[in-house]
Amino acid sequence: MLNSILNGLMVRYRERVPDVGAILDAMITEGIIQRADAIENDHIAFRTMGVEKLGIQSLERVFLHYGYQKKEHLFFKEKKLDAYWYAPPEAHYPRIFISELRVGDLSANAQRIIRSYTDEVKADPVAELDLNDAVAVDHYLHSGRWRTPTLEDYNALLAETEYAAWVIFNHYYLNHFTVSVHNLPAGFNTLETFNAFLKRRGFKLNTAGGEIKKSPDGKLLQSATVAEMIEATFANGEKKQIAGSYVEFAERKVLDQFAHLPPEQVRREHRREGFETGNADKIFESTYTSQTKGS
Ligand code: OOG
Ligand code: NI
């Protein structure tokens, strides 16, 4: 059940983000992996609007139902976001990262625009779903919750918060999946060597705060591509190139207390867990104009 929901997310995401297939193909050509399904997916991420009936408390129920466990809270003051991450029921499943816009912290005008859309949602849609019905859940994760925005509203939101603009158009479309690099073959199993491979192959990396975002303990390293632009059709047919989704890469180093383990004995629980606010803050910018302009 969880498998089919995760697969459904990945299929749509691959269709929308050509970089996904291109990166997997480049890894196969380079001999890093034999097959695309050999990739370990560190985590997937969603963005939500923090309004009553929607937001984290609604979306998280889908994953809690399938055995995910809610972990730490992260707070992003400048970007006006909250987030939580969720540990999977079994180690071979990806972690989940869900963020939420603090709508109440925005200007009156931005709040008015957002609520004009989200007010169309009369009841928590997840509460009305049969969560055991994987087909219904899959459908829910890939359908809009409110009308297609106007370009004018999108642009007004973009000027104040790029995250809001992304969500008003993209809804719950998967924001990214994350290639775990630490279990790849030598020569590609650090973020530094993996990024060098990506750049050699022509992929463009997010440079906010440097290409490699590193946690203060030095054990969680993350990088991401710049989101690909998609041609979006707004209400009454107006079109604009806007940021779609991106691909992330993570290296989790072995914790000091397990440093003595031979490499073949190292499993997920021996490595740095969780997320890091300082890293995430910069990863969000993979869809921001500061990164996508010129791409
Ligand atoms: C999520 C950014 C944060 C991470 O792994 O820290 C993140 C987003 O862009 O929605 O993915
Ligand atoms: Ni991420």
Report the pLDDT value the prediction gives residue 136, as an integer from 0 to 100: 95
Per residue in 250-288, pLDDT (tens digit) is 999 999 999 999 998 999 999 999 999 999 999 999 999
Query: Residue 183 maps to which CATH number?
Result: 3.10.180.50
Nearest atom of ligand 1 to the alpha carbon of 246: 9
Percent of the chain residues past pLDDT 70, beyond the cut? 99
Ligand nearest to the CA of 174: 1
Q: What is the ipTM of this complex?
A: 0.99
Q: Is the pLDDT of residue 68 over 60?
A: yes
Q: Which of 49, 97, 249 to mutate to test the pocket of ligand 1 (most atoms within 8 A of CB)?
A: 97
Q: Is the pLDDT of residue 294 over 70?
A: no
Q: What is the DSSP string of 97-146?
A: EEEEE-GGGS-HHHHHHHHHHHTT--S-TTTTS-TT-HHHHHHHHTS-SS
Q: Is the pLDDT of residue 10 over 70?
A: yes
The residue to which tokens 């740095």 are assigned: 272
User: What are the tokens at 55?
Assistant: 């937001």
Per residue in 80-117, pLDDT (tens digit) is 999 999 999 999 999 999 999 999 999 999 999 999 99
Confidence of residue 238 (pLDDT cuts 50, 70, 90): very high
What single-letter amino acid sits at 218? Answer: G
Asked if 213 and 222 count as a contact pair (C-beta separation under 8 A), the reply is: yes
Report the pLDDT value the prediction gives residue 160, as an integer from 0 to 100: 97
Report the pLDDT value the prediction gives residue 37, as an integer from 0 to 100: 87
Q: What is the mean pLDDT of residues 204-225?
A: 98
Taking the model in full, what pTM does it have? 0.97
Range of the domain at 106: 2-292
Residue 143: Cβ within 10 Å count: 10
**CA angle, 253 as apex, 247 and 257 as ends, to 5°?**
155
Please, what is the angle between helix 56-65 and helix 134-141, to 10°?
150
Report the pLDDT value the prediction gives residue 199, as an integer from 0 to 100: 98
Burial of 77 by CB count in 10 Å (0-12 exposed, 13-18 middle, 19+ buried)? exposed
Count of domains for the chain: 1
Using alpha carbons, select from 1, 103, 121 the residue that is nearest to residue 54: 121
Q: What is the mean pLDDT of residues 142-168?
A: 97
What are the pocket residues of ligand 1 if the criterion is a CB atom closer than 6 Å to any ligand atom? 45, 47, 97, 99, 175, 222, 248, 275, 279-280, 283-284
Estimate to the nearest angstrom the gap between the alpha carbon of 287 and the chain centroid. 10
